[in-house]
Amino acid sequence: MTASSPRCWQKSRNDLREVKEGTTGKQDTKCYTETWSIPFTTQVLQTMLESHADEPTQLQELSPKARGGIFSPLRSMATLWNAPLPNARFLIVSGSFWTVNLAITEPYRFLFFSRLGLSPEEIGKLFAADLAVRSIGLLLSGFTQRLFGAKRMLVGGDVISWVLPYLILGFSSRPWHIVLAVLLTSLNAFSSTPYNCLLAEGMPPERRTKGYAFLFLWNLAPSLLVPWFAGWLISSHPFGPTLRVLFLVQAACMAIGISWRGLKLSELQASSTSSEWGILRTFRELIWRPQFLAAWAALATAGMFQSLWTAFFAIYLSKHLHLPDTLPAWNIEISTIGFVVGTLAIQPFLGESKVSLVAAMALVFQALLIGGYYLHPGFGGVLSLGFAGGITASLSGAATSSLLTSSLPENARHHGFALSFVGVHLTGALCMPFAGHLLQSNLALFPALAIVFLLAWAASLASWSSAKGSQPFQTTA
């Protein structure tokens, strides 16, 4: 890190304050640090959060001079940054201790599993076991959250389901090591419900989709910078040992992030779990809500698509298209650039009433793009498809999360989220072994399966719009 880095950061803070007050026009956007250390990263994130901790909940409108015309990336980013409330924003920003390292390792994790001895069919079965364990954990997560508190369950669950599995992967040499690590990761179900409840509490309805757009944008931002580094490491160093070292670094960074959340995160308000409805009563009420069913179907098909893409995309590129091992990381980076462009150019100007239909149209277009893989694209062709796919993905993920939250009872979200994701995981547990079996016999079917899931996801979002008359409800004690 250069000696001028703290001054650069202080300048960026002052510039951001001036822009919010409408007192400056041009901004110097070329103040970067060349390398980052963990202590400095922590200081930067903490300074960002503290500088916004006392912000009003309403969005700050920029002056015409600061807007820079119809579209200004700075204005768009400020709109998305201010969408969540401070506690939810801290939860999102502290996720950098996860996302930076995941951006390096995730493109190669399942390729690592494959080269350690797991076949596509075995990976599909492992996915199914993972989802089944998660479903059991989710059924219990609402009760444990009320018993121990959302913050305590989030911190404790993350230690078991994030730090320990990646320590195991760092020393793995046998297929059963992978099985153990994945099943420990499944226990993340106990921290998933508290995480979603804390997020939902900090997402005001009038800007909920923008808040979730900020979540997706922040989580994907590291993919703008680090995948090229992962590609360089993989191409110039032994594959297995390099991944193991990265897994160990990842475990250490996650431990730091968990400690920071334990110190700084505020507890969930009691009103968020005040309903006396049990999980069965909540299920009986939700199952008759057309709006919830449409939102849940969108979440389930999104989960199936993402599981399929995560597990088999790198394998498809390597074993079917015979493309270099560096391509998955580069594709992640190019896709993220497309995602950032779509998020900043479209999301801040998209009204909540248009979210579901716009997202559905984007998914149909993304399905057409994936059909391009049947043309056997080369390195550049895959990157072009990835960039266009990133733009369309910027509209669908945030919309799906926002619509689900809007369809749940506000004071029983712990049970609502738990039931929603139980259904998602059980559906995935049924579909992933089937997908793995098909791809084991014919890997060329991968794009077709992805297209089917995308079109089902689009249909679910479109049906949510037609069920909009059924409004979200508030339970009574």
Domains recognised in the chain with CATH numbers: 88-466 (1.20.1250.20)
What lies within 8 Å, CB to CB, of 315 at 6+ separation is 110, 111, 114, 120, 439, 443
Tell me: the pLDDT tens digits for 164-200? 999 999 999 999 999 999 999 999 989 999 999 999 9
Q: What is the pLDDT of residue 54?
A: 41
- pLDDT above 90 covers a percentage of the chain that reads 42
Residue 255 has pLDDT above 80, yes or no: yes
Confirm if 223 and 103 have CB atoms less than 8 A apart. Answer: yes
Using CA atoms, how far apart are residues 291 and 288, in angstroms rounded to an integer?
Answer: 9
Half-sphere exposure of 150 (CA within 13 A, CB side): 25
| CA neighbor of 178 nearest in space, from 249, 234, 114, 105 | 114
Half-sphere exposure of 386 (CA within 13 A, CB side): 23
Using CA atoms, how far apart are residues 384 and 362, in angstroms rounded to an integer?
Answer: 17
Of 81 and 412, the structure prediction assigns the larger pLDDT to 81
Half-sphere exposure of 321 (CA within 13 A, CB side): 26
Tell me the H-state helices in 287-412: 290-315, 327-346, 355-370, 379-406
| CA neighbor of 118 nearest in space, from 449, 439, 390 | 439
Residue 230 has pLDDT above 50, yes or no: yes
| CA neighbor of 112 nearest in space, from 253, 265, 288, 230 | 230
Tell me: the pLDDT tens digits for 332-360? 888 989 999 999 888 888 778 788 899 99
